[in-house]
Amino acid sequence: MNLNNMTGGEGLIGNIARGIRDFLGYILGRVSGSVDLSEKLILIDNDELLLVWESKLRNQRMAKEKEAWDSFERTYGRGNPQVVDSFIKWQEQLYAYIEQEKEHFLKQRKGSGHALAHLRNSGVTTVCVTKGAKPYTQKCFDLVGLTPTIADTYSPAPGRREKRFVDAVIDYGKNSSTKCLRDTLIVGHDLDNDMAWDLVPVRGDANDGKSPVFIMFDTMAFDKEVAAPLDALPEIIDLLARKGGNDFLRGFRAITTSKRATTKNYSFNVTLFQHPRRADKARIPIICNIIKRRASSGGNMRFARS
């Protein structure tokens, strides 16, 4: 399923009324500099973006989890709901140990708590879309204190591994291409696994850039500092909303440049990208290579373009 399959939503009169409202919002936003983020939806990855495990222990954990899952499938049969139920109960034993030793296992991206709390307080809905089991993911958020900032977690259906981006956008009211492109951002660290490819139209010049904007952060490692703490995210979101009059895709187009775009504290590339391993898909709007800006002496520090 992609955006071309979504419903038009509101009919002719509704589309005209929304178009007028969006235009007025765009003009007012440009004049006042204010943004309304109350209808915005962020679909975000978790592992190696928000959270990271110490690599050796993570590999041991994943091996044990696979061993347990395979054992339950042999016992109950693939696709049987008892496989998931038994696996979740088995994981609870693991969680109890991890909770005691979490400082040695689990680390969150710098700035995550502040950034996600800021977005929540600004009216943004942040939803985690993951390949991991929902109880496991929510337990990890509990351990590092991020649970209050995540509105929901979407995990694959039992026995599946596909991320449920389409379900998330529809459930949160972005059930037309207009709403989805205007109000939704995808945030991840891996283009293959974290982009909502089901929401990207087929390849063709007319379809380039007609998918949700993807914001790509660098991949976390347990023993290294990240290039871009998550507090870059609210700055980028604010810039897109202001430049687009509360329309994320319009804001992306407004800041697209051959040079690096900037916010107060960060700089990044803004471009349309053709993924070489997704030749069937159109070019996607992407913000990437995010790095923290260094203050320069002599008053030469650049600020976001107004």
* pLDDT digit string, tens, across residues 164-192: 999 999 999 999 999 999 999 999 999 99
Give which of 107, 89, 93, 103 is closest to 61, Cα–Cα.
Answer: 93
Round to whole Å and give the CA distance between 270 and 305: 14
Which residues have C-beta within 8 Å of that of residue 246, sequence separation ≥ 6?
22, 25, 26, 29, 35, 36, 37, 182
Number of H helices, E strands in the chain: 11, 10
Give which of 265, 266, 42 is closest to 172, Cα–Cα.
Answer: 42
Over 50: is that where the pLDDT of 199 sits?
yes
- Element housing 51 (H / E): strand 51-53
Round to whole Å and give the CA distance between 163 and 195: 10
What does the radius of gyration of the chain's CA atoms come to, in whole angstroms?
Answer: 20
Asked if 187 and 45 touch (Cβ cutoff 8 Å), the reply is yes
Beta strands per DSSP E along 116-233 = 125-129, 152-154, 184-188, 213-216
Question: What phi and psi, each to the nearest 5 degrees, are found at residue 52?
Answer: -145, 145
- The model's pLDDT over 48-75, given as tens digits with 9 standing for 90+, comes to 999 988 877 778 877 888 899 999 999 9
Domain residue spans of the chain: 3-19+33-50+109-295, 55-104
- The model's pLDDT over 116-138, given as tens digits with 9 standing for 90+, comes to 999 999 999 999 999 888 888 89
**Average pLDDT estimate for 243-263:** 94
Asked if 274 and 205 touch (Cβ cutoff 8 Å), the reply is no
∠ Cα 240 165 78 (to 5°): 160
Over 80: is that where the pLDDT of 26 sits?
no
Q: Which residue has the tokens 């996600």?
A: 116
Asked if 14 and 231 touch (Cβ cutoff 8 Å), the reply is no
Find which of 21-35, 136-150, 164-178 is predicted with most confidence, using mean pLDDT: 164-178
Over 80: is that where the pLDDT of 30 sits?
no
pLDDT band at 208 (very low <50, low <70, confident <90, very high): very high
Pick the range with the lowest mean pLDDT from 11-15, 100-104, 248-252.
11-15
Which residues have C-beta within 8 Å of that of residue 1, sequence separation ≥ 6?
166, 198
What six digits make up the tokens of 151? 């509105």
Pick the range with the lowest mean pLDDT from 3-12, 174-183, 198-207.
3-12
Q: What is the pTM of this model?
A: 0.82
pLDDT for the residue numbered 61: 77
**Average pLDDT estimate for 207-225:** 94
pLDDT band at 151 (very low <50, low <70, confident <90, very high): very high
- State which CATH number among 3.40.50.620, 3.40.50.1000, 3.40.50.360, 3.30.365.10 fits the domain covering 3-19+33-50+109-295: 3.40.50.1000
Beta strands per DSSP E along 173-256 = 184-188, 213-216
Q: Using alpha carbons, list the distances in angstroms from residue 165 to 3, 169, 195, 288.
A: 11, 6, 9, 20
